Structure 1
Amino acid sequence: MPNSLADFNARDPDAAERDLLACCASHAFARTVAARRPFRDLAQLTAAADTAVRALDWPDVLEALSAHPRIGERSQEAWSRQEQSGVEDDLRPALAEGNRAYEERFGHVYLVCATGLTGTQMLGKLRERLDNDEEAERKVVGDELAKITRLRMAKLVGI
């Protein structure tokens, strides 16, 4: 992993794409952002990442979702553990039940930008989103994926 924006800008394209997959696990996203280097600052990098996430076709979004653990499950991935640190142990059974209902309804993992949220807030958002139709939920998923990606881009370049 790079330890600065300058280091990220200097990486070969394959290495940059691998690094970017940690932020958003869509190969289309990684190719697009890596090809736009060099970036002068974090704002330009996150703007490019946001544009790339929002331009993803639904199969590319599903590819990205496949790398996200279920909310409330203990993850081996450090960023996911940190992001979900607000989940209280007593809420894990309710989140597991909510995850099952969500996946049954929409066919993919429930995605929420968990940073700064309590487990109660994550569960509340999950329950609210179960009422969404497919189109509305896809928009919310895209927004949440963009939020997560922006936060992870800063981590990627050590800011």
Structure 2
Amino acid sequence: MASALAPTQPSLLECCACRTWAAAVAAGGPYSTIDALISVARAVWWHQTPVTGWLEAFAAHPKIGDLEGLRKKYGGTFGDLSRGEQAAAAGAPEVVLQELADWNARYKAKFGHIFIVCASGKSAAEMLGIIKRR
């Protein structure tokens, strides 16, 4: 039998920088399965987290393709989660990264927060196409 999952608030903050979300999910543990943890995490995000919490998480999220920002925030390692998610951007041509930076600025000016997308498995060019369509 697997042991119970008891995520701490600091470990949850590495996934999502919303303090109210992390506190609520941590307080609900321990969880019997990863599926139970994910179910509660989703429910807390969609039904208990105020808009200010969403904006807190968005503000802490690295911009897609902003490798210098990632270096400043996480050092040379980029942080385990961001490094994996943005791996495709690390090898992208400079022109694509510059265009992502331009579109990130346009997006923030229009919507008031940064462009966020699940970057895992997507190339920098794919992410650029997504931001342009939004």
TM-score w.r.t. length of structure 2: 0.82
Cα distance in 2 for partners of 1:52, 1:59 equals 14
Answering whether residue 127 of structure 2 is matched by residue 127 of structure 1, we say no
In the TM superposition, what whole-angstrom CA distance separates every residue of 1:98-133 from its partner, at most 9, and x where no partner exists? 00100110111111110111111111111111xxxx
| % identical equivalent positions | 33
Cα distance in 2 for partners of 1:5, 1:98 equals 45
Q: Could you say which residue in structure 2 is the equivalent of 1:70? A: 63
SS of alignment partner, residue 15 of structure 2: coil
* TM-superposed deviation, 1:83: 0.4
The aligned length equals 120
* TM-superposed deviation, 1:48: 0.9
Where structure 2 has 5 or more consecutive residues not aligned to the other structure, the ranges are none
Where structure 1 has 5 or more consecutive residues not aligned to the other structure, the ranges are 130-159
20, 27, 36: which one pairs with 2:12? 20
Larger relative contact order (CA 8 Å, sep ≥ 6): 1
Please provide the CA RMSD for this pair. Answer: 1.7
82, 85, 99: which one pairs with 1:83? 85
Q: Which amino acid aligns with 1:125?
A: I
Cα distance in 1 for partners of 2:83, 2:93 equals 13
The 8 Å contact of residues 5 and 42 in structure 1, kept in 2 or not, is answered as no
Q: Could you say which residue in structure 2 is the equivalent of 1:138? A: none
43, 58, 62: which one pairs with 1:51? 43
The 8 Å contact of residues 70 and 109 in structure 1, kept in 2 or not, is answered as yes
Answering whether residue 25 of structure 2 is matched by residue 33 of structure 1, we say yes
